[in-house]
A and B are shown apart, each in its own frame.
Chain A
Amino acid sequence: MRDRDEGRTASTAAPGGGRKRLGVLEALRIAWAQLTSMRTALLLLFLLALAAIPGSLVPQRPTAPLKVRDFAAQNPELAVWYDRLGLFDVYGSPWFAAVYLLLFVSLIGCIVPRIAVYAKAVRARPPATPRRLDRLPEWVRGPLAGRRPSEVLDAAEEHLRRRRWRVRRDDDSVSAERGYVREAGNLVFHLSLVVVLVGLAWTSLFGFRGTAVVVVGSGFTNTLTQYDELTAGGAFDPADLEPFTLSLDDFAVEFETGSVQRGAARSFDATVTVRTSAGETQQHLTVNEPLEIGGTEVHLLGHGYAPIVTVRDANGDVAYSGPVVFLPQDGNFTSSGVIKVPDARPYRMAFEGLFLPTGTVDTAGPRSLFPDALVPELVLNAWYGEPVAASGAPENVYTLDTTGLTQYTVDGAPVAMRLSPGDTYDLPGPGGSITFEGYKRWAKIQVSRTPGTWVTLGAVALAVTGLSVSLFVRPRRLWLRVAGGTVVAAGLDKADGRTGLDEDVAELLAAAGVDADDGPDPPPDDGPDPPPDDGPDPPPRET
């Protein structure tokens, strides 16, 4: 734990016989001593800090998969190496885990023995008074002036006890100690760190987190199939999903229209109806105010637009009618999406393009100028092809695979339509039409359960408390001795950064009824300087 320990351990080499067996044990012991040494702990701490850096600079797959893809497309060779080194998922990589697991092993190895030591120290009496009080950092003395030694010691003892010092009375001296809780705080702090990790592990084992997009007017049922994405821990059981349904009745959003931060979101407000076995309630869901349904939380993560279209096929039949979710691509909600109409006959149809809440088309192409739907427009290309039997394989609804499809063209140029609400576009070639009816908003919700939350939170609170105790409580010792007509009071701090030792010492002498000698200088002492550690030993901390 302390550096001194290492030397001691390393030098206790196994003597003579039985060397081989002992050798292994000894090596293990040395390795353990090394791992739990303060120097290793320090090294691991800095290693952890260093290891965390790349994850903040390189895009990370769990949080930004798109950025990782772009990065890989731009730097294909680098990306291969990054992938090998786990740089796209630093916080899930084995080497990152190795650093923090080693740190925590070191922590436990360091703390557990200290608990035993502390348990003993708490019950132990304060240490005996050292022989030479005048070698301590702080001391004062005064004449006994004819009083009985026991009288002086009694007064000192009473003073200390009244002040809640732990006191030890010997024949000619009083010894007192205070500040035991510091070590307790330190132990609580380090143990809490372990508990924080336990809480996080519990959450990731039993918890889950999923997202779903819900269009205004439709709903979400909490079953596995309704999630767009779901990540869950190893011990998660889909049967445990809280049974509820949630329908999105309305979604109101306001954007900044002033010149400063124009377009920044100002408020979101989703009105939802939640149905559980207990009944039905209407509630509001906004950022920072998640819903709680049983042990499950629902957060509002994002929003966007779903243009409503009606598609007629070449036969004139309505092949599709309803909202289609488009995904925002920029801060002004230029949204891209795909409308697939597999049921159109004689040909299936498909559209791909952009929804622009406040549309414009300029040299930069079609884009939106403002996130609110002020001038909604739909810009699309169109395809048709032979119908295919539904394969049942999951298909990405946001991308269009154009194999087997032919683009609608006019005079050899692909059809590019630009529609305002109410507009209908009659397609050339085999025919058909699309009508842009209007739009709805959608909300992206996150449904999650984090069962270890309270463990983590409680441990963090304990850690902060323990840390404060261990940093603000400072152990101190005081002594008073009567010897040959002189009374000496002295004190020692075992941790630096504390003031007022001189006052405590002076007060002790005064409380014993002794006047301090007023000469500021100590008696000449030509002996060599004592090394700093010459004071009385600290409570036995080493293991």
Chain B
Amino acid sequence: MSEYSQLAMVASAVVYLLAFMAYAAEWAAARALPSQRVVADRRRSRVRAAVPAGAAPAADVDGPDTGTPASEDLTAARIRVDMFGRIGIGLTMVAFVSHLAGVVLRGLAAQRLPWGNMYEFVTSAMLAVVGAYLVLVLWRGIRWLGLVVTLLAAIAQGFAVTVLFVEVAPLVPALHSVWFVIHIVAAVIAAGAFNLGGLASILYLVRDRAERKGELRGYLAKLPSAAAIDTFAYRMHAFAVPVWTFTIAAGSIWAQYAWGRFWGWDPKETWSLITWVVYAGYLHARLTAGWKGARAAWIAIVGLATFWFNFVGINLLVSGLHSYAGV
């Protein structure tokens, strides 16, 4: 069963890569479309209100069916672009199913929840990231995040199966705790939202720059407006921060049971707090006029970097109470 799990994980990494290539093809194909005019739309002052005064006026792009004369060629090109996008989603779903099977089989093989070591944490967290992405694709149509999500998923899954992989083994006694399970579930959910938020922040910066230059070509033209991406990123973070707060609280209750202290400045604990503080900074920055947009996006990216460093880097570099058996 363990071998099947591993097979499914490897397959998911490969299919994520294929999905990434499909999204990249969508991007590339979209370059064939004519550059789109940036239109400042009066009715969108709602969007404009989200941009600091004095910044470039908020812009939105004409929908694909207005303005430009739709020649036969162009229609064909649009259909091709759309087709690549759909293939991307289809492949992402296939990879997700394989990934899900990998995680479930791993749990069945170990006869416990599959959260006992780095390999299992990373694969589970990535499952949450892609799962959240797919839910939001169906619910909110955020296909535009696919390129970065599948890239991250392919890298993380590839890293997990090649570097982090360990054979199935039971848990060390310190992990036998309900609070541990609650802690991990919360961490995995927060990971999903932080990653989507952070990736959106990266896209925000790219799109924002293009908007300032007034040149929106190809894939960039297909992205939502910078202001809309910004709002999306904010929502992801606003959801994730309370969950992350809860994650830390649950973790410290577990620590109280396991080691008789809530907080011991263990490297893992310290970095969870650092991550939390950075995201608190993000929320404050957003709520302070003038720190919206690019600067907030940079904080979000720093936050994501600390998150991943805490998640993987600390375990590999520093030894503490959290360095689980078998990494």
A residues lining the B interface (CB < 8 Å): 2-4, 38-39, 41-42, 45-46, 48-49, 52-53, 55-57, 60, 62-63, 90-91, 137-138, 200, 209, 256, 258-261, 264-268, 286-290, 297, 299, 301, 446, 448, 450, 453, 456-457, 460-461, 463-464, 467-468, 471-472, 496-497, 501, 520-522, 525, 529-533
Contact = CB atoms under 8 A, between A and B. Distances in A.
B43 A56 contact: no
Nearest to B180: A288
Contacts of B262: 450, 453, 456
Interface in B242-301: 242, 245-246, 249, 252-254, 256-267, 270-271, 273-274, 277-278, 280-281, 283-285, 287-291
Given A63-B265, A301-B260, A471-B238, A256 B169 contact: yes
B141 interface: no
A49 B278 contact: yes
B74 interface: no
16 contacts: A2-B289, A41-B284, A46-B277, A259-B167, A261-B169, A264-B326, A265-B173, A288-B173, A288-B177, A453-B262, A457-B253, A460-B252, A464-B245, A497-B235, A501-B46, A521-B43
Contacts of B234: 496-497
Contacts of B86: none
Given A137-B49, A471-B238, A265 B172 contact: yes
Interface residues of B, number: 65
A297 B245 contact: no
Contacts of B291: 42
A55 B264 CA distance: 11
B213 interface: no
Interface in B129-185: 166-170, 172-174, 176-177
Contacts of B278: 45-46, 49
B50 interface: yes
A286 B176 CA distance: 10
Interface string B34-78: 000000001101101111010000000000000000000000000
Contacts of A265: 172-173
A52 B290 contact: no
Contacts of A468: 242
Nearest to A186: B287
B256 A467 contact: no
A267 B175 CA distance: 11
Contact of A38 (B176, B266, B284): B284
A463 B242 CA distance: 9
B241 A3 contact: no
B314 A209 contact: no
B284 A45 contact: yes
Contact of A56 (B173, B257, B271): B271
A489 to B, nearest CB: 15
A501 B270 CA distance: 41
For the complex of A and B, 9 pairs with smallest distance between CB atoms: A137-B46, A299-B260, A260-B167, A56-B267, A261-B169, A264-B325, A49-B277, A56-B270, A287-B173
Contacts of A297: 260
Given A3-B288, A496-B234, A471 B277 contact: no
B211 to A, nearest CB: 17
A183 B257 CA distance: 35
Contacts of B261: 209, 448, 450
Contacts of B281: 42, 45-46, 49
B318 interface: yes
Given A286-B173, A288-B174, A496 B231 contact: yes
Contacts of B235: 497
B48 A453 contact: no
Contacts, number: 160
Nearest to B290: A3
A299 B168 CA distance: 29
Nearest to A331: B325
Nearest to B246: A464
Contacts of B173: 265-268, 286-288
Given A446-B260, A464-B246, A471-B242, A56 B318 contact: yes
Nearest to B268: A56
B266 to A, nearest CB: 7
A260 B45 contact: no
Contacts of B174: 287-288
Contacts of A529: 45, 48
Given A56-B271, A137-B45, A268-B173, 15 more contacts: A45-B277, A53-B274, A137-B46, A264-B325, A266-B172, A287-B176, A446-B259, A448-B261, A471-B238, A471-B242, A496-B50, A496-B231, A520-B43, A529-B45, A529-B48
B325 A52 contact: no
B174 to A, nearest CB: 5
Nearest to B44: A137
A522 B46 contact: no
A468 B252 CA distance: 20
B274 A49 contact: yes
Contacts of B277: 45-46, 48-49, 52
A265 B258 CA distance: 14
Contacts of B284: 38, 41-42, 45
Contacts of A289: 257
Nearest to B167: A260
Given A48-B277, A532-B49, A290 B231 contact: no
A472 B243 CA distance: 12
Contacts of B257: 288-290
Nearest to B48: A532
Contacts of B285: 42
Given A46-B281, A529-B45, A464 B270 contact: no
Contacts of B267: 56-57
A154 to B, nearest CB: 29
Nearest to B52: A532
Contacts of B326: 260-261, 264
A288 B258 contact: yes
A291 to B, nearest CB: 11
Contacts of A448: 260-261
Given A287-B258, A301-B260, A468-B242, A460 B249 contact: yes
Contacts of A463: 245
A316 to B, nearest CB: 46
A521 B289 CA distance: 30
Contacts of A496: 49-50, 231, 234
Nearest to B321: A63
A176 B262 CA distance: 45
A471 B53 contact: no
B251 to A, nearest CB: 11
A42 B284 CA distance: 7
Contacts of A259: 167
A135 B58 CA distance: 16
Contact of B242 (A138, A464, A497, A530): A464
A467 B260 contact: no
A501 B45 CA distance: 13
A42 B288 contact: yes
A14 to B, nearest CB: 28
B277 to A, nearest CB: 4
A258 B260 contact: no
Contacts of B43: 520-522
Contacts of A62: 265
Nearest to B234: A497
A467 B242 CA distance: 6
Nearest to B325: A264
Contacts of B176: 287-288
A457 B170 CA distance: 31
Given A3-B289, A288-B174, A461-B249, A467 B318 contact: no
A447 B29 CA distance: 67
Contacts of B260: 209, 290, 297, 299, 301, 446, 448
